[in-house]
């Protein structure tokens, strides 16, 4: 094994992948990995020289793809196309090529600095136009067999181009509607490449214990990471354990597998626990959000009714598919807005390029399409001479209406939500002030992902309760919300409930933590588990009181029947005899009954902003922000407000500051300083967060999800507000001071003042 120092080879052969240590990760035997990343964007690997690295004091191994033997050396959600370490070829600047493993992180970094890689350069394609040009070099020349095949809309086979995926949607007679429409408005927009910027970068610790693989990582979806790892090592699922403790943020970027295979193969090769952690630069070179160029044409009647919409979407998906095909499919579903439109056509393309691979990002394709759709709607209102609020009122889908054929009817009062935004903004169409503008936007996302969740509730003989769920806590507050649901269902105090999460060996299956689904779908599973446990307590009460189960009721922590009351603790102690035993309730959510029709719920985005623009610098400042959280029922109102404000603030980042910038094949701003996220000083002076509770969701007590909605329409709302402030329509985010200043130069200052 060329990637290991000589004295380690025999030890590796003896342990054959079994850990030298058990679960105590603080032992001195834990090793640390440091990645050697590609300094080419597109090239074949001529040779890798790790001899000097192996001679570095403290270095245990220098692992390349050649050291992975018969392992399945790739991973990926929709398409398993992502190599653990580059195999023969690199496809983007920053791709992992060698993993140097040492006794401490400093020795690993020193060893990595001595690795030498020789490349033979290939043509580099940073943007989709170059990648799709006639005769362009293929970034991927093979189809990949494995991946999640449950999403039909995300399945594709690679053809003879650099298209990663194509997604189309169409109904009605689009061309006929355009031919006869009195008004046609076309818009072209560009949405930036973004990094999710969670506080905690990617990291994972892995070890083998008697042939079983254990991993602790920053995974949002530990069960899906388990599947990837099981495939890599040809292990049954019950021999792979993945745990996700409290994460320092995720925003979708920690969905699916990231650095876990690197730590796992290093542990397999060295026979010792291995930790792999990235810094911010490494995290930005791990995944990002899709950049997009979008053209939209819309046809309107004289009264503002939308007659047809035609979208052409191109995503820069980067070097590997990961979750890109599904993000594109969702963007296609969401771009045309929550409006009743008789004729729709959307053509979407996700294109491989030699850039950092894309994956999930908060909003999941909605922000890109919404920017184009909402900006186009405001431009149409100006052209037709109609209030932009009125053009939305006339077209928004009503409660129960179906704006996406074959999908669940709208579970919200969108016009009512819009009126709340307008009232809070004090919107007046004819109010025009120099260098000051107001904008607002609407969105509705087919959220909730696939409705599969399970939960277990354990009632102990001292009256305390543990809730077990596979959902991940990453700062969104799910641990609190799920505990509240359990306490409410069981009729006990909140401090008697403990929630245990995200351990594939101990907690029940959870498909995903994303798509704003946890409170709604995992909460529903917890609610059902509580009711299952209560039914068992009623059976115990009926047996003790010698009556029928219909005569027994549970409420407020007691089992009541004809002969009196028992506390939950007393009932359990009587049943088992003494202070021992427990009652377990199981809750299952699947696509059936109220959840048979997809999506499980629509996540609403309804926002408004007032923006001022500095005359001299062009700097836009959001003075007033309004968000509406249409959540059906707020399990925890404070957390709903926090989620909405957080989402909106993240959206302001893309609208005003954030953008990953390439200079040729290399990212120039993968760091804390040059990638500009919103600061506390950028938060608007006035914020109105409005919660709407109509109990119209499928979750507990009529709840629906929140967490992404307020991000999705922020970009369009800010762009329209800036346009009304300076009299010029922007077509690209972020609206940096320089971009806005250049737009202002296309008009005379006196024109703007008037």
Catalytic residues: 708
- Residue 99 makes CB contacts below 8 A (sequence gap 6+) with 33, 34, 35, 36, 61, 62, 63, 85, 262, 265, 266, 276
Question: Of all helices (H) and strands (E), which one includes residue 196?
Answer: none
DSSP bridge partners of 627: 607, 689
CB 399, CB 411: distance < 8 Å = yes
CA-to-CA distance for 181 and 49, rounded, in angstroms? 66
Alpha helices in 218-297, H assignment, sequence order: 222-233, 260-270, 280-284
> Residue 268's closest CA among 54, 84, 71?
71
Strands (E), 562-710: 564-567, 583-589, 601-613, 620-630, 662-663, 666-667, 686-692
Q: Roughly what angle, to the nearest 10 degrees, separates helices 714-726 and 737-744?
A: 40
DSSP bridge partners of 437: 611
Q: Which two tokens stand for residue 467?
A: 């809730």
Say if strands 465-469 and 497-501 run parallel, antiparallel, or are unpaired: parallel
CA-to-CA distance for 79 and 143, rounded, in angstroms? 9
CA-to-CA distance for 49 and 3, rounded, in angstroms? 9
CA-to-CA distance for 470 and 513, rounded, in angstroms? 9
Residue 296: how many other CB atoms lie within 10 Å: 26
**Which DSSP letter does residue 357 get?**
P
Tally the C-alpha atoms within 13 A of residue 2's C-alpha that lie toward its C-beta.
12
- Residue 25 makes CB contacts below 8 A (sequence gap 6+) with 205, 207, 216, 273, 275
> Under DSSP, is residue 232 helix (H, G, I), strand (E, B) or coil?
helix
DSSP states of 32-93: EEEEEE-S-SSEEEEEEE-HHHHTSTTEEEEE-GGGGTTS--EE-SSS--EESS--SEE-ST
Q: Which two tokens stand for residue 579?
A: 């202070």
Tally the C-alpha atoms within 13 A of residue 106's C-alpha that lie toward its C-beta.
1
Strands (E), 192-318: 203-209, 212-217, 240-243, 274-277, 291-300, 306-318
CA-to-CA distance for 524 and 697, rounded, in angstroms? 11
CA-to-CA distance for 324 and 347, rounded, in angstroms? 15
Q: How far is CA 215 from the centre of its chain?
A: 21
Q: Say if residue 734 is preceded by a cis peptide, omega within 30 of 0.
A: yes
DSSP bridge partners of 663: 666
Residue 580 backbone dihedrals phi, psi, to 5 degrees:
-160, 170
CA-to-CA distance for 399 and 397, rounded, in angstroms? 7
Q: Which two tokens stand for residue 564?
A: 């009196």
Name residue, tokens 């094994």: 1
Helix, strand, coil shares, percent, the chain, to 5: 30, 25, 45
How large is the C-alpha radius of gyration of the chain?
Answer: 28
DSSP states of 462-473: TS-EEEEE----
Q: Say if residue 722 is preceded by a cis peptide, omega within 30 of 0.
A: no
CA-to-CA distance for 366 and 360, rounded, in angstroms? 11
CA-to-CA distance for 47 and 370, rounded, in angstroms? 46
């Amino acid at each position: 094994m060329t990637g290991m120092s000589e004295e380690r080879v025999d030890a590796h052969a003896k342990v054959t992948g079994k850990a030298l240590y058990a679960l105590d990760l603080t032992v001195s035997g834990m090793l640390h990995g440091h990645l050697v990343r590609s300094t080419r964007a597109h090239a074949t690997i001529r040779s890798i020289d790790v001899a000097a690295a192996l001679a570095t004091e403290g270095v245990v191994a220098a692992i390349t793809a050649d050291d992975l033997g018969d392992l399945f050396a790739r991973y990926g959600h929709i398409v398993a196309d992502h190599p653990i370490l580059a195999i023969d070829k690199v496809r983007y600047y920053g791709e992992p090529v060698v993993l140097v493993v040492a006794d401490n992180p400093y020795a690993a970094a020193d060893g990595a600095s001595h690795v030498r890689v020789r490349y033979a350069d290939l043509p580099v394609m940073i943007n989709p136009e170059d990648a799709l040009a006639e005769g362009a070099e293929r970034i991927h020349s093979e189809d990949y067999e494995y991946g999640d095949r449950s999403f039909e809309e995300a399945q594709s086979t690679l053809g003879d181009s650099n298209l990663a995926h194509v997604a189309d949607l169409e109904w009605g007679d689009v061309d006929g509607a355009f031919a006869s429409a009195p008004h046609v408005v076309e818009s072209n927009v560009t949405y930036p490449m973004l990094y999710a910027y969670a506080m905690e970068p990617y990291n994972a610790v892995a070890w083998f214990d008697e042939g079983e693989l254990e991993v602790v990582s920053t995974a949002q979806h530990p069960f899906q990471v388990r599947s990837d790892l099981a495939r890599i090592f040809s292990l049954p699922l019950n021999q792979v354990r993945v745990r996700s403790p409290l994460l320092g943020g995720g925003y979708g970027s920690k969905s699916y597998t990231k650095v876990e295979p690197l730590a796992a193969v290093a542990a397999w090769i060295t026979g010792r626990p291995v930790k792999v952690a990235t810094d911010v630069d490494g995290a930005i070179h791990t995944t990002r959000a899709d950049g997009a160029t979008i053209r939209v044409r819309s046809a309107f009647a004289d009264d503002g009714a939308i007659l047809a919409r035609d979208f052409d979407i191109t995503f820069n998906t980067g070097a590997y598919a990961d979750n890109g095909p599904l993000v594109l499919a969702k963007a296609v579903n969401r771009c045309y807005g929550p409006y009743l439109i008789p004729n729709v056509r959307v053509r979407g393309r996700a294109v491989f390029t030699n850039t950092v691979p894309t994956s999930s990002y908060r909003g999941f394709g909605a922000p890109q399409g919404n920017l184009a759709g909402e900006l186009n709607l405001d431009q149409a209102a100006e052209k037709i001479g109609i209030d932009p609020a009125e053009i939305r009122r006339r077209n928004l889908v009503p409660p129960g209406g179906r704006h996406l054929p074959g999908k669940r009817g709208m579970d919200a009062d969108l016009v009512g939500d819009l009126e709340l935004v307008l009232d809070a903004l004090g919107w007046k169409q004819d109010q025009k002030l120099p260098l000051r503008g107001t904008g607002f936007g609407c969105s509705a996302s087919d959220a909730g992902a696939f409705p599969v969740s399970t939960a277990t509730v354990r009632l102990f003989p001292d009256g305390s309760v543990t809730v077990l769920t596979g959902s991940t806590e990453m700062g969104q507050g799910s641990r609190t919300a799920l505990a509240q649901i359990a306490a409410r269902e069981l009729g006990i105090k909140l401090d008697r409930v403990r929630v245990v999460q995200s351990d594939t060996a101990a907690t029940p299956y959870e498909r995903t933590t994303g798509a704003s689904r946890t409170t709604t779908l995992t909460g529903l599973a917890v609610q059902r588990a509580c009711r299952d446990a209560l039914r068992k307590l009623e059976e115990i009460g009926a047996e003790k009181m010698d009556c029928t189960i219909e005569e027994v009721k549970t409420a407020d922590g007691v089992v009541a029947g004809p002969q009196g009351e028992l506390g939950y603790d007393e009932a359990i102690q009587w049943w088992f005899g003494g202070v021992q035993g427990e009652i377990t309730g199981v809750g299952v959510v699947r696509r059936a009954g109220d959840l048979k029709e997809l999506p499980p719920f629509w996540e609403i985005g309804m926002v408004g902003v007032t923006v001022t623009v500095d005359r001299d610098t062009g700097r836009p400042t959001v003075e007033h922000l309004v968000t509406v959280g249409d959540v059906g029922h707020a399990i925890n109102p404070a957390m709903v407000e926090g989620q909405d404000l957080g989402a909106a603030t993240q959206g302001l980042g893309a609208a005003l500051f954030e953008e990953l910038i390439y200079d040729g094949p290399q990212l120039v701003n993968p760091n804390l300083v040059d990638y500009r996220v919103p600061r506390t000083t950028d938060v608007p002076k006035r914020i109105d967060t409005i919660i709407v509770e109509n109990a119209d969701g499928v979750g507990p007590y009529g709840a629906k999800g929140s967490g992404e909605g307020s991000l999705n329409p922020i970009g369009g709302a800010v762009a329209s507000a800036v346009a009304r402030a300076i009299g010029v329509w922007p077509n690209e985010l972020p609206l940096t001071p320089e971009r806005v200043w250049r737009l202002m130069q296309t008009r005379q200052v006196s024109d703007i003042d008037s």
